[in-house]
Amino acid sequence: MKKAITSPLCSAFVIPGLGQIINADLKKGIILLCGVFLLFVLGIIKLVRLIHAVFPSGEISSAPPEILNRLRAEDFSVLWCILAAFAILWLYSVIDAFWKGRKMDHIEAGGGDT
Cβ-contact 100, 20 below 8 angstroms: yes
Task: Return mean pLDDT, the chain.
Answer: 84
Calculate ∠ Cα 32-34-40, nearest 5°.
Answer: 105
Bigger pLDDT: 37 vs 67: 37
DSSP assigned state of 35 = H
Cα 114 from Cα 111, distance rounded (Å): 8
pLDDT tens digits along 13-56: 788 888 888 888 899 999 999 999 999 999 999 999 888 888 77
Residue 112: band (very low, low, confident or very high) from pLDDT cuts 50, 70, 90: low
Asked if residue 111 has pLDDT above 70, the reply is: no
pLDDT in the model for residue 28: 92
Average pLDDT over residues 80-100: 91
pLDDT in the model for residue 56: 77
Average pLDDT over residues 92-98: 88
Percent residues over pLDDT 90 in the chain: 32
pLDDT in the model for residue 71: 80
45 CB-side CA count, 13 A: 8
Cα 87 from Cα 49, distance rounded (Å): 22
Domain boundaries, the chain: 3-108
Instruction: Give one DSSP letter per residue of 2-17, joined into a string.
Output: -HHHHHHHHHHHT-TT
